Chains A and B, each alone.
Chain A
Amino acid sequence: MNTEYIKGLLDKYFEAQTTIEEEKELKNYFNSGSIDPRFDKVAILFKVFKAESQIETQAKFESPSVVRNIEVKKEAKVFTLQRYLKIAAAVIVLALSSFLVVKYTLNNTVEETPKIEVANYIEVTDPDEAMAYTEDALKILAKVFNTSQTGVDAGMKVIDETPVIGSRQ
Protein backbone atom coordinates (compact mmCIF):
# COMPACT_ATOMS: atom_id res chain seq x y z
CA MET A 1 0.00 0.00 0.00
CA ASN A 2 1.16 3.53 -0.78
CA THR A 3 3.02 4.79 2.29
CA GLU A 4 2.11 8.39 1.53
CA TYR A 5 -1.54 7.40 1.56
CA ILE A 6 -1.04 5.74 4.97
CA LYS A 7 0.79 8.82 6.24
CA GLY A 8 -2.13 10.98 5.08
CA LEU A 9 -4.57 8.69 6.86
CA LEU A 10 -2.47 8.80 10.02
CA ASP A 11 -2.47 12.60 9.97
CA LYS A 12 -6.25 12.55 9.59
CA TYR A 13 -6.52 9.93 12.33
CA PHE A 14 -4.68 12.06 14.91
CA GLU A 15 -6.88 15.03 13.96
CA ALA A 16 -9.94 12.80 14.55
CA GLN A 17 -11.03 13.37 10.95
CA THR A 18 -11.01 9.77 9.72
CA THR A 19 -14.14 7.81 8.94
CA ILE A 20 -14.82 4.35 10.33
CA GLU A 21 -13.80 2.86 6.96
CA GLU A 22 -10.49 4.76 6.90
CA GLU A 23 -9.76 3.63 10.45
CA LYS A 24 -10.45 0.05 9.38
CA GLU A 25 -7.92 0.53 6.56
CA LEU A 26 -5.33 1.71 9.08
CA LYS A 27 -6.03 -1.21 11.43
CA ASN A 28 -5.79 -3.70 8.59
CA TYR A 29 -2.57 -2.17 7.31
CA PHE A 30 -0.82 -2.07 10.69
CA ASN A 31 -1.87 -5.58 11.53
CA SER A 32 -0.77 -6.98 8.20
CA GLY A 33 2.60 -8.58 7.79
CA SER A 34 4.01 -5.95 5.43
CA ILE A 35 4.48 -2.59 7.13
CA ASP A 36 6.88 0.07 5.96
CA PRO A 37 9.65 0.23 8.62
CA ARG A 38 9.03 3.95 9.09
CA PHE A 39 5.66 3.04 10.67
CA ASP A 40 7.00 0.35 12.99
CA LYS A 41 6.55 2.36 16.17
CA VAL A 42 3.11 3.80 15.31
CA ALA A 43 2.01 0.30 14.37
CA ILE A 44 2.29 -0.66 18.03
CA LEU A 45 -0.67 1.59 18.87
CA PHE A 46 -2.89 -0.22 16.37
CA LYS A 47 -1.59 -3.58 17.52
CA VAL A 48 -2.60 -2.69 21.07
CA PHE A 49 -6.08 -1.78 19.83
CA LYS A 50 -6.37 -5.09 18.02
CA ALA A 51 -5.11 -7.08 21.00
CA GLU A 52 -7.59 -5.33 23.31
CA SER A 53 -10.42 -5.97 20.89
CA GLN A 54 -9.70 -9.68 21.13
CA ILE A 55 -10.00 -9.92 24.91
CA GLU A 56 -12.69 -12.41 25.83
CA THR A 57 -14.22 -13.40 29.10
CA GLN A 58 -13.77 -16.97 30.25
CA ALA A 59 -16.58 -16.67 32.78
CA LYS A 60 -19.63 -18.89 32.47
CA PHE A 61 -22.57 -16.64 33.12
CA GLU A 62 -25.57 -18.04 34.94
CA SER A 63 -28.94 -17.88 33.27
CA PRO A 64 -30.72 -14.80 34.67
CA SER A 65 -33.65 -17.00 35.74
CA VAL A 66 -31.29 -18.98 38.00
CA VAL A 67 -29.70 -15.80 39.36
CA ARG A 68 -33.12 -14.37 40.15
CA ASN A 69 -34.14 -17.56 41.98
CA ILE A 70 -30.98 -17.36 44.07
CA GLU A 71 -31.70 -13.74 44.91
CA VAL A 72 -35.30 -14.53 45.89
CA LYS A 73 -34.12 -17.39 48.12
CA LYS A 74 -31.59 -15.14 49.78
CA GLU A 75 -34.25 -12.52 50.44
CA ALA A 76 -36.61 -15.18 51.85
CA LYS A 77 -33.94 -16.38 54.27
CA VAL A 78 -33.30 -12.88 55.57
CA PHE A 79 -37.02 -12.25 55.90
CA THR A 80 -37.50 -15.44 57.98
CA LEU A 81 -34.73 -14.47 60.38
CA GLN A 82 -36.15 -10.98 60.79
CA ARG A 83 -39.58 -12.42 61.39
CA TYR A 84 -38.32 -14.73 64.14
CA LEU A 85 -36.51 -11.86 65.79
CA LYS A 86 -39.65 -9.72 65.71
CA ILE A 87 -41.77 -12.48 67.25
CA ALA A 88 -39.19 -13.07 69.98
CA ALA A 89 -39.04 -9.36 70.78
CA ALA A 90 -42.83 -9.11 70.96
CA VAL A 91 -43.06 -12.10 73.34
CA ILE A 92 -40.43 -10.61 75.64
CA VAL A 93 -42.17 -7.23 75.75
CA LEU A 94 -45.54 -8.84 76.47
CA ALA A 95 -44.16 -11.06 79.22
CA LEU A 96 -42.31 -8.19 80.86
CA SER A 97 -45.28 -5.84 80.77
CA SER A 98 -47.64 -8.54 82.14
CA PHE A 99 -45.25 -9.20 85.01
CA LEU A 100 -45.00 -5.51 85.87
CA VAL A 101 -48.79 -5.03 85.77
CA VAL A 102 -49.41 -8.01 88.09
CA LYS A 103 -46.70 -6.88 90.49
CA TYR A 104 -48.07 -3.33 90.63
CA THR A 105 -51.65 -4.58 91.18
CA LEU A 106 -50.63 -6.78 94.13
CA ASN A 107 -48.58 -4.09 95.87
CA ASN A 108 -50.95 -1.18 95.55
CA THR A 109 -54.61 -1.02 96.59
CA VAL A 110 -56.46 1.63 94.81
CA GLU A 111 -58.35 4.00 97.19
CA GLU A 112 -61.95 4.68 96.43
CA THR A 113 -62.62 8.10 95.06
CA PRO A 114 -64.56 10.18 97.62
CA LYS A 115 -68.06 11.08 96.65
CA ILE A 116 -68.58 14.65 95.58
CA GLU A 117 -71.30 16.41 97.44
CA VAL A 118 -73.71 17.95 95.07
CA ALA A 119 -75.37 21.21 96.06
CA ASN A 120 -79.08 21.03 96.80
CA TYR A 121 -81.10 23.07 94.44
CA ILE A 122 -84.58 24.23 95.25
CA GLU A 123 -86.95 24.33 92.43
CA VAL A 124 -89.37 27.21 92.80
CA THR A 125 -92.57 27.08 90.83
CA ASP A 126 -94.61 29.73 92.61
CA PRO A 127 -93.98 33.19 91.02
CA ASP A 128 -94.49 35.03 94.36
CA GLU A 129 -92.01 32.79 96.13
CA ALA A 130 -89.54 33.32 93.27
CA MET A 131 -90.06 37.07 93.58
CA ALA A 132 -89.31 36.88 97.30
CA TYR A 133 -86.08 34.96 96.70
CA THR A 134 -85.05 37.47 94.05
CA GLU A 135 -85.74 40.41 96.38
CA ASP A 136 -83.67 38.78 99.12
CA ALA A 137 -80.82 38.28 96.69
CA LEU A 138 -81.05 41.87 95.51
CA LYS A 139 -81.11 43.12 99.10
CA ILE A 140 -77.88 41.26 99.83
CA LEU A 141 -76.39 42.80 96.73
CA ALA A 142 -77.66 46.29 97.63
CA LYS A 143 -76.26 45.94 101.10
CA VAL A 144 -72.82 45.24 99.65
CA PHE A 145 -73.11 48.21 97.30
CA ASN A 146 -74.29 50.48 100.12
CA THR A 147 -71.33 49.55 102.19
CA SER A 148 -69.08 50.55 99.40
CA GLN A 149 -70.93 53.82 98.86
CA THR A 150 -70.62 54.56 102.60
CA GLY A 151 -66.92 54.04 102.33
CA VAL A 152 -66.72 56.42 99.39
CA ASP A 153 -68.87 59.06 101.15
CA ALA A 154 -66.70 58.87 104.24
CA GLY A 155 -63.62 59.25 102.12
CA MET A 156 -65.07 62.26 100.32
CA LYS A 157 -65.97 63.85 103.66
CA VAL A 158 -62.40 63.51 104.91
CA ILE A 159 -61.11 65.09 101.70
CA ASP A 160 -63.57 67.99 102.01
CA GLU A 161 -62.52 68.64 105.57
CA THR A 162 -58.81 68.55 104.86
CA PRO A 163 -57.36 72.10 104.82
CA VAL A 164 -55.75 73.06 101.52
CA ILE A 165 -52.25 74.52 101.84
CA GLY A 166 -52.14 78.26 101.16
CA SER A 167 -55.89 78.74 101.47
CA ARG A 168 -57.44 81.04 104.04
CA GLN A 169 -59.83 79.44 106.54
Chain B
Amino acid sequence: MQNENIISEVMKYKDKLYRFALKMLGNEFDAEDVVQEVLVKVWQKSDQLELIDNKQAWCMTVTRNLSIDKIRGRKSTNASAIEDYHYLTDTKPTPDIQTEDKESLSIVMKTLNSLPDNQKEIIHLRDIEGYTYKEIAEITGYSEEQVKVNLFRARQKLKHELRNFTY
Protein backbone atom coordinates (compact mmCIF):
# COMPACT_ATOMS: atom_id res chain seq x y z
CA MET B 1 0.00 0.00 0.00
CA GLN B 2 2.89 2.31 0.88
CA ASN B 3 4.45 1.48 -2.48
CA GLU B 4 1.24 2.26 -4.32
CA ASN B 5 0.98 5.66 -2.61
CA ILE B 6 4.50 6.63 -3.62
CA ILE B 7 3.92 5.44 -7.18
CA SER B 8 0.77 7.51 -7.49
CA GLU B 9 2.69 10.52 -6.15
CA VAL B 10 5.47 10.01 -8.72
CA MET B 11 2.91 9.53 -11.50
CA LYS B 12 1.86 13.15 -10.95
CA TYR B 13 5.15 14.34 -12.41
CA LYS B 14 5.76 11.52 -14.89
CA ASP B 15 5.59 14.06 -17.73
CA LYS B 16 8.47 16.04 -16.24
CA LEU B 17 10.52 12.84 -16.04
CA TYR B 18 9.54 11.97 -19.59
CA ARG B 19 10.47 15.40 -20.94
CA PHE B 20 13.84 15.28 -19.19
CA ALA B 21 14.59 11.80 -20.55
CA LEU B 22 13.40 12.89 -23.98
CA LYS B 23 15.71 15.90 -23.88
CA MET B 24 18.67 13.71 -23.00
CA LEU B 25 17.89 10.77 -25.28
CA GLY B 26 16.07 12.44 -28.15
CA ASN B 27 13.96 9.35 -28.60
CA GLU B 28 10.38 8.88 -27.38
CA PHE B 29 10.60 5.11 -26.93
CA ASP B 30 13.80 5.26 -24.92
CA ALA B 31 12.39 8.11 -22.84
CA GLU B 32 9.30 6.04 -22.02
CA ASP B 33 11.52 3.08 -21.13
CA VAL B 34 13.46 5.27 -18.74
CA VAL B 35 10.29 6.52 -17.03
CA GLN B 36 9.14 2.93 -16.61
CA GLU B 37 12.49 2.04 -15.08
CA VAL B 38 12.24 5.03 -12.73
CA LEU B 39 8.87 3.73 -11.50
CA VAL B 40 10.44 0.33 -10.84
CA LYS B 41 13.28 1.98 -8.90
CA VAL B 42 10.78 3.98 -6.89
CA TRP B 43 8.88 0.78 -6.12
CA GLN B 44 12.06 -1.00 -5.03
CA LYS B 45 13.33 1.87 -2.91
CA SER B 46 10.05 3.08 -1.47
CA ASP B 47 11.36 2.62 2.09
CA GLN B 48 14.30 4.96 1.46
CA LEU B 49 12.18 7.37 -0.56
CA GLU B 50 9.96 7.96 2.47
CA LEU B 51 12.91 9.70 4.12
CA ILE B 52 13.72 11.95 1.14
CA ASP B 53 12.33 15.49 1.28
CA ASN B 54 12.43 16.34 -2.40
CA LYS B 55 11.15 13.17 -4.05
CA GLN B 56 10.71 14.90 -7.38
CA ALA B 57 14.37 15.93 -7.51
CA TRP B 58 15.36 12.37 -6.55
CA CYS B 59 13.25 10.96 -9.38
CA MET B 60 14.78 13.48 -11.80
CA THR B 61 18.25 12.36 -10.72
CA VAL B 62 17.31 8.72 -11.30
CA THR B 63 15.91 9.69 -14.71
CA ARG B 64 19.17 11.44 -15.55
CA ASN B 65 21.31 8.50 -14.43
CA LEU B 66 19.23 5.95 -16.32
CA SER B 67 19.33 8.13 -19.44
CA ILE B 68 23.11 8.38 -19.21
CA ASP B 69 23.30 4.58 -18.81
CA LYS B 70 21.20 4.20 -21.95
CA ILE B 71 23.47 6.54 -23.90
CA ARG B 72 26.54 4.64 -22.70
CA GLY B 73 24.85 1.37 -23.64
CA ARG B 74 24.29 2.65 -27.15
CA LYS B 75 27.92 3.69 -27.41
CA SER B 76 29.24 0.33 -26.25
CA THR B 77 26.87 -1.89 -28.21
CA ASN B 78 26.27 -0.15 -31.47
CA ALA B 79 28.14 2.73 -33.00
CA SER B 80 25.39 3.44 -35.48
CA ALA B 81 22.96 3.97 -32.62
CA ILE B 82 24.89 7.10 -31.65
CA GLU B 83 24.31 8.47 -35.10
CA ASP B 84 20.63 7.62 -34.71
CA TYR B 85 20.64 9.48 -31.41
CA HIS B 86 22.09 12.63 -32.92
CA TYR B 87 19.84 12.30 -35.90
CA LEU B 88 16.80 12.11 -33.70
CA THR B 89 17.98 14.94 -31.49
CA ASP B 90 18.64 17.26 -34.36
CA THR B 91 15.43 16.53 -36.13
CA LYS B 92 13.17 16.38 -33.12
CA PRO B 93 9.71 17.52 -34.12
CA THR B 94 9.39 21.27 -33.84
CA PRO B 95 7.02 22.24 -31.06
CA ASP B 96 3.62 23.33 -32.16
CA ILE B 97 4.05 27.10 -32.03
CA GLN B 98 1.76 29.68 -33.45
CA THR B 99 4.15 31.79 -35.52
CA GLU B 100 4.52 32.78 -39.10
CA ASP B 101 8.21 33.40 -38.62
CA LYS B 102 9.41 29.88 -39.40
CA GLU B 103 12.94 31.07 -40.04
CA SER B 104 13.33 32.55 -36.55
CA LEU B 105 11.79 29.43 -35.05
CA SER B 106 14.30 27.32 -36.95
CA ILE B 107 17.20 29.45 -35.63
CA VAL B 108 15.95 29.12 -32.05
CA MET B 109 15.55 25.33 -32.32
CA LYS B 110 18.90 24.90 -34.00
CA THR B 111 20.66 26.99 -31.35
CA LEU B 112 19.01 25.14 -28.48
CA ASN B 113 19.92 21.77 -29.98
CA SER B 114 23.51 22.81 -30.64
CA LEU B 115 24.25 23.62 -27.00
CA PRO B 116 26.68 21.30 -25.18
CA ASP B 117 24.91 18.52 -23.29
CA ASN B 118 25.40 20.00 -19.82
CA GLN B 119 24.14 23.44 -20.92
CA LYS B 120 21.20 21.88 -22.74
CA GLU B 121 20.36 19.96 -19.61
CA ILE B 122 20.55 23.04 -17.38
CA ILE B 123 18.53 25.23 -19.77
CA HIS B 124 15.89 22.51 -19.81
CA LEU B 125 15.72 22.25 -16.04
CA ARG B 126 15.64 26.02 -15.53
CA ASP B 127 13.71 27.48 -18.47
CA ILE B 128 11.35 24.63 -19.20
CA GLU B 129 10.82 23.01 -15.81
CA GLY B 130 11.48 26.08 -13.64
CA TYR B 131 13.78 24.50 -11.05
CA THR B 132 15.90 26.62 -8.71
CA TYR B 133 19.71 26.55 -8.88
CA LYS B 134 19.77 24.44 -5.75
CA GLU B 135 17.37 21.88 -7.20
CA ILE B 136 19.29 21.75 -10.49
CA ALA B 137 22.51 21.17 -8.54
CA GLU B 138 20.80 18.39 -6.61
CA ILE B 139 19.49 16.74 -9.78
CA THR B 140 22.64 16.98 -11.87
CA GLY B 141 25.31 16.66 -9.20
CA TYR B 142 26.96 19.92 -10.29
CA SER B 143 27.66 22.63 -7.73
CA GLU B 144 25.36 25.65 -7.70
CA GLU B 145 28.24 27.72 -9.07
CA GLN B 146 28.69 25.33 -11.97
CA VAL B 147 24.97 25.51 -12.65
CA LYS B 148 25.06 29.32 -12.75
CA VAL B 149 28.14 29.40 -14.97
CA ASN B 150 26.69 26.90 -17.43
CA LEU B 151 23.36 28.69 -17.51
CA PHE B 152 25.15 31.97 -18.17
CA ARG B 153 27.16 30.43 -21.04
CA ALA B 154 24.06 28.83 -22.56
CA ARG B 155 22.10 32.08 -22.47
CA GLN B 156 25.04 34.04 -23.82
CA LYS B 157 25.20 31.63 -26.73
CA LEU B 158 21.48 32.07 -27.29
CA LYS B 159 21.90 35.85 -27.16
CA HIS B 160 24.78 35.69 -29.63
CA GLU B 161 22.94 33.42 -32.07
CA LEU B 162 19.78 35.46 -31.77
CA ARG B 163 21.65 38.80 -32.08
CA ASN B 164 19.54 39.72 -35.07
CA PHE B 165 16.49 39.43 -32.84
CA THR B 166 16.94 43.04 -31.82
CA TYR B 167 14.58 44.42 -29.25
Contacts and interface: CB of A to CB of B under 8 A. Distances in A.
Interface of A: 7, 10, 13-16, 20, 23-24, 38-42, 44-45, 47-49, 51-53, 55-57, 59, 61-65, 67-68
B167 A42 contact: yes
Interface stretch (B12-20, B51-59, B64-72): B12-20
Contacts of A55: 15, 18-19, 22, 95
Interface string B11-40: 100110011001000001001100110011
Contacts of A14: 155-156, 158-159
Given A14-B156, A42-B167, A44-B108, A61 B101 contact: no
Contacts of B15: 55-57
Given A47-B99, A51-B97, A64-B3, A39 B162 contact: no
A42 B159 CA distance: 9
Which DSSP category, helix, strand, loop or mixed, fits chain A's interface? helix
A64 B39 contact: yes
B42 interface: yes
B162 A24 contact: no
A6 B66 CA distance: 39
A53 B3 contact: no
A166 to B, nearest CB: 94
B39 to A, nearest CB: 5
Contacts of A61: 11, 14, 32, 35-36, 39
A61 B10 CA distance: 12
A47 to B, nearest CB: 5
Given A41-B165, A44-B97, 20 more contacts: A14-B159, A15-B155, A20-B132, A23-B127, A38-B166, A41-B101, A41-B164, A42-B162, A42-B165, A44-B99, A44-B104, A53-B19, A55-B18, A55-B22, A56-B18, A57-B14, A57-B31, A59-B32, A61-B36, A64-B39
Given A23-B127, A38-B167, A44 B42 contact: no
Contacts of A68: 40, 43
Given A44-B101, A53-B129, A68-B43, A13 B35 contact: no
Contacts of A16: 148, 151-152, 155
A52 B128 contact: yes
Nearest to A3: B167
Contacts of A15: 152, 155
Contact of A10 (B39, B128, B167): B167
Contacts of B81: none
